Structure 1
Amino acid sequence: MTSEVFSYESLVHAVAGAAGSMTAMTVFFPLDTARLRLQVDENRKAKSTPAILADIVKEEGLLAPYRGWFPVICSLCCSNFVYFYCFHWMKASWLKGRQSTPSIDLIVGIAAGVINVLLTTPLWVVNTRLKLQGSKFRNADIRPTNYSGILDAFEQIICKEGVGALWNGTFPSLLLVLNPAIQFMIYEGLKRQLRRGAHRELSSLEVFIIGAVAKAVATAATYPLQTIQSILRFGQFNTPKEKSKLLSSLKTIKGLLVNRARKHGVLGLFKGLEAKLLQTVLTAALMFLLYEKIASCTFKVMGLGSPHYKKH
């Protein structure tokens, strides 16, 4: 078990996944900016993604769509490294060379997601704050923040809101482990179907398409919770006064969902979905493509051979 936890193969998968996700997010980062703005700023009208980005550039400057890029990339690097490492380590420990199944992919994906959430939520809370800092909101109730960087944001949040604020949105994030779990289940399942028992590498187009399909299904299924997660991470909401933190979290999530549905209808829960789908599907597709290529090349260069790679 110890050798599997610290295996070279898990490390290669983790580095490849982190590198692929960082590159893909950088390419499509403005789309994520448009999505986050629509989720948090309730008074901003839901226009097409290009129109939202045009408004942001006009009001806030040419580089505004890339505001908060560095903390997001740092968080994404850590998050994907942890997720890919845990996913492949636990899967290798479970299977021990046997063929995987969709149910195993789902269970392992959920377990890896839980570990990832508990370890990296503080990074995502900080990057959400930094990404929205300096934005021109339509909602006048949103209070401006003044963070000079990642460390300063950590310090101010801890001093003003307490250490627990760094884990704002943890509960919906734990529910949202279904997103990458569903994504990996579909992705790995489609890979097995395309190979149909033949040990071959998939083409770049095949990897891109199945990565896009997997992410599109996972995103559409979990989007309302992603909206609530963004609002909670931003930190500007009224928390119910409950003795039980779990009960308080449940009431907060319910209250935010009901309030948004009352104000904007059921479709309000999916505000920004177009931008999110455009960003996340393209990002995931490119990420999986880069991940597969980096991992495959690394294993070949290090002389581990393709069987070690393909059995997962």
Structure 2
Amino acid sequence: MTSEVFSYESLVHAVAGAVGSVTAMTVFFPLDTARLRLQVDENRKAKSTPAILADIVREEGLLAPYRGWFPVICSLCCSNFVYFYCFHCLKASWLKGRPSAPSTDLITGIAAGVVNVLVTTPLWVVNTRLKLQGSKFRSADIHPTNYSGILDAFVQIVQDEGVGALWNGTFPSLLLVLNPAIQFMIYEGLKRQLRKGVPRELSSVEVFMIGAVAKAVATTVTYPLQTIQSILRFGQFRTSTVESRVLTSVKTIKCLLVNRMRKYGMLGLFKGLEAKLLQTVLTAALMFLLYEKIASFTFRIMGLSNSRLMKR
């Protein structure tokens, strides 16, 4: 077990995943800005993604679509490093050289996701606040914040709202570990199908396409919970402190889902899905492409066997 956890292979996967995700997110960051505005600003009309970005640029300046880029990239780098590291070391420990299966990928993905959520949620809470700071909202009941940076945001949140506020949205985030778990299950399954038992390196087009398909399915299935997660991380929805945190989280999620459905109908749960799919599918596809190429290049330099590594 120790050899798998502290192996160079797990480290290479983690670094490759982190670098790939940071690069891909930087390229498609404005699309994520449009998605987040639609999720948290209830009075903003669900226009097309280009129209939303045009509104943001016109009202807030040319660089507004990239507001909060640095904290998001820091959070994403840490998050994907933790996820890829945990996913591959847990998978290696479980399989011990045996062929993988969809159920293995799903369970390993869920376990890696839980570890990732518990470790990195404070970073995502802070980056959500910074990303939305200075935005021009349509909803009058959204209160402006004034953070000078990442550390100041941490300090202010702890002082004003308590340490627990850094884990706002943790419960829906734990439910959302299904998103990367489903994504990796489909991605790894499609890789095995394309290889058909013959170890080979997939082409760039193949990796890009299966990465896009895997993320599109995972995002669509879990999108309503992602909306609730964004609202809770933004910290504008107040919950009761009398009941237990788990019970309060369940009631909060139910309340937010029901309220959104009453206001906007069933489609209200998927407000911003177009922007999210456009951003997340392209980002994931590019991320997987870069991840595979970086990992493959690194393993060649290390002199590790391609046939053995391609069984993963």
- Which category describes the TM-score, using the shorter chain as reference length? over 0.9
What residue number does 2:248 align with? 248
SS of structure 2 residue aligned to 1:143: coil
Q: Deviations over 1:89-134 (max 9, x none)?
A: 0000000111000000000000000000000000000000000000
CA–CA separation in structure 1 for the residues paired with 2:7 and 2:92: 10
CA–CA separation in structure 1 for the residues paired with 2:285 and 2:87: 18
CA–CA separation in structure 1 for the residues paired with 2:113 and 2:31: 24
Residue pair 1:208, 1:289 contacting (<8 A) in 2 also: yes
After the TM superposition, list the runs of 4 or more consecutive aligned residues in structure 1 that deviate by more than 3 angstroms.
none
Residue pair 1:240, 1:252 contacting (<8 A) in 2 also: no
What is the TM-score with the length of structure 2 in the denominator?
Answer: 0.99
Structure 2: segments with no counterpart, 5+ residues = none
Amino acid at match of 1:222: T
Residue pair 1:114, 1:177 contacting (<8 A) in 2 also: yes
* Paired residue total: 312
What residue number does 2:237 align with? 237
Residue pair 1:224, 1:269 contacting (<8 A) in 2 also: yes
Q: Deviations over 1:11-37 (max 9, x none)?
A: 000000000000000000000000000
CA–CA separation in structure 1 for the residues paired with 2:122 and 2:244: 21
- Give the alignment of 1:142-291 within 5 angstroms: 142-291=142-291
Q: Deviations over 1:253-278 (max 9, x none)?
A: 10111111111111011000000000
What is the TM-score with the length of structure 1 in the denominator?
Answer: 0.99
What residue number does 2:132 align with? 132
Structure 1: segments with no counterpart, 5+ residues = none
CA–CA separation in structure 2 for the residues paired with 1:205 and 1:291: 14
**Superposed CA RMSD:** 0.6
Identity %: 85
Amino acid at match of 2:257: L
SS of structure 2 residue aligned to 1:62: coil
SS of structure 2 residue aligned to 1:197: coil
CA–CA separation in structure 1 for the residues paired with 2:13 and 2:102: 19
Residue pair 2:200, 2:307 contacting (<8 A) in 1 also: no
Per the TM alignment, residue 169 of structure 1 is displaced from its structure 2 partner at its CA by 0.1
Per the TM alignment, residue 241 of structure 1 is displaced from its structure 2 partner at its CA by 4.4
Per the TM alignment, residue 242 of structure 1 is displaced from its structure 2 partner at its CA by 3.8
Per the TM alignment, residue 245 of structure 1 is displaced from its structure 2 partner at its CA by 1.1
Amino acid at match of 2:169: G
CA–CA separation in structure 1 for the residues paired with 2:262 and 2:243: 27
